[in-house]
Structure 1
């Protein structure tokens, strides 16, 4: 098992990509901390994993609040003794045409999708440095690597806040890799393309979701939507010692997106 005896924090771990990664990690032998803002969803996920014989801990955490991310790190060390892996997965989107987006939209997305990554990494770094070991995996997006049409948001520029935040995550990954590398901590990034998760429908109607997925299939070289299993394989690679000599890198897991500029 590639993560035997490792302790992994996964933010946004009670649903979508985070939950899928958490289950994959537990199957690889890790104790997983399900960090999320939804206490009910945390309990359901921890109970589900426990029933399967996996090791899981629940932790309520708002990643936009530094004091909560610091408390999360302290609690994990108190309960599990160490922090080996952090997956910065928590994220939100507010897809609106650029000219209609307001400061609340911008702040909400940047706070969770970029500042939250910074706070969580900053909170676990002291423990990882003390161990001389750590794996930080940041989740960006294909929209952070190039501008793509976003017709279902009413405008080709409907992802401006989300894209800006996710591009920031990629550069934050590089700077953290440079700073933490001498202490045995690697920092890498996964940029997913289109996957069906709760965030897909967070600002779209069911009809818009279907339209979005059908459109995206046409812009992918492989001609299909990816599976969460395929995505979590990339996350697992960066979280494990398979990538021990890789840091500061971003891996696109997008089926060959061809619609970006």
Structure 2
């Protein structure tokens, strides 16, 4: 088991990519810490893991709040005596046509998707540094790599806030890898492409979701949408010793986006 008894914190871990990642980690023997803002979803996820005999706990955390991030790490370390893995997965989107976008569309996205990654990494670093070991995995997006959006919110610039935040995550990954590598901590990034999750429909109607996915399929070399298990397996790679000599890297898990290649 690649993560036996490793303590893994997964932000946004109660659903979607985060939950799939938690499932993959649990199957490899990890102790699961779900950090999320959805109390009901946290409770359901933790109950599910415990029913299977997995050691799991949940914490309500707003990753965009620096104090919340530091409280989370302090609580987890107090409970388990160590933090081995942090997956910075929590994210939101606010799509708006370029000409109509306001600070209400930009600020929350930058706060959660970029600032949250920084705050959680900053908060966990002392605990990992003390053990001279750790894995941080950041979740970016194909949109953060320069891949073209699908006329989001009726405008090619409709995903500007989200794309900008996710591009920032990629550069932040490189910066943090330089900062933390002397202490044996690796920092890597996964940039997912087209995956169907609750997040996919958070700002779209069912028809818009299907139109979006159909458009994506036409621009993927593999001609299909990925499964969450496929994505979680890559996150698991970066969280395990399989990637012990890899840091500062971003891996596109996107089925071959022809609009980026």
TM category (shorter chain) comes to over 0.9
| Aligned-partner SS, 2:98 | coil
CA distance in 2, matches of 1:149, 1:187: 27
Residue pairs, 1:201-212, within 5 angstroms:
201-212=201-212
Higher mean displacement: 132-141 or 199-208 = 199-208
The residue aligned with 1:99 is 99
Identify unmatched segments of 5+ residues in structure 1: none
Q: TM-score of the superposition, structure 2-length normalised?
A: 0.98
Report the CA distance between 1:99 and its aligned residue: 1.2
Aligned counterparts of 2:150 and 2:221: Cα–Cα separation in 1: 18
Structure 1, 142-151 or 208-217: larger mean CA deviation: 142-151
Could you say which residue in structure 1 is the equivalent of 2:55? 55
- Counterpart-to-counterpart distance in 1, 2:137 and 2:260: 24
8 Å Cα contact 1:8/1:30 also seen in 2: yes
Superposed, 1:108-147 pairs within 5 Å as 108-147=108-147
| C-alpha distance in structure 2 between counterparts of 1:236 and 1:171, whole Å | 21
SS of corresponding position for 1:57:
strand
State how far apart, in whole Å, the 1-side matches of 2:17 and 2:23 are: 10
How far is the alpha carbon of 1:147 from its aligned partner? 4.0
Equivalent runs, 1:160-171 vs 2, <5 Å: 160-171=160-171
Q: Distance between the aligned counterparts of 1:147 and 1:47, measured in 2? A: 38
Which sits farther off after the overlay, 183-192 or 47-56?
Answer: 47-56
Q: Distance in 2 between matches of 1:149 and 1:159?
A: 7
Please identify, of 231-240 and 49-58, the stretch whose mean Cα deviation from structure 2 is larger. 49-58
| Higher alpha-carbon deviation: 94-103 or 150-159 | 150-159
CA contact (8 A) 2:62 2:69 kept: yes
Looking at structure 1, the residues matched to 152 and 65 of structure 2 have their Cα atoms a distance apart, in angstroms, of: 31
Q: CA RMSD in A?
A: 0.9
- Give 1:9-28 correspondences, 5 Å limit: 9-28=9-28
**Which deviations, in whole Å up to 9, do the C-alpha atoms of 1:178-231 show, x marking residues without a partner?**
010000000000000010011111111111001101110001000000000100
State the distance in 2 between where 1:150 and 1:107 align. Answer: 22
Q: Say which is worse superposed, 212-221 or 153-162, in terms of deviation.
A: 153-162
Counterpart position of 1:192 = 192
Shift of 1:152: 4.5
Kindly report structure 1 stretches of 4+ aligned residues shifted beyond 3 Å.
none
In the other structure, the counterpart of 1:240 is 240
Indicate the SS of the match to 1:87.
Answer: strand
In structure 2, distance between residues paired with 1:200 and 1:167: 19
Distance 2:152 2:247 in 1: 35
Partner of 1:40: 40
| CA distance in 2: counterparts of 1:9 and 1:98, whole angstroms | 35
SS at the partner of 1:86?
A: strand
- Cross-structure match for 1:225: 225
- Aligned equivalents of 1:205, 1:162: Cα separation in 2: 19
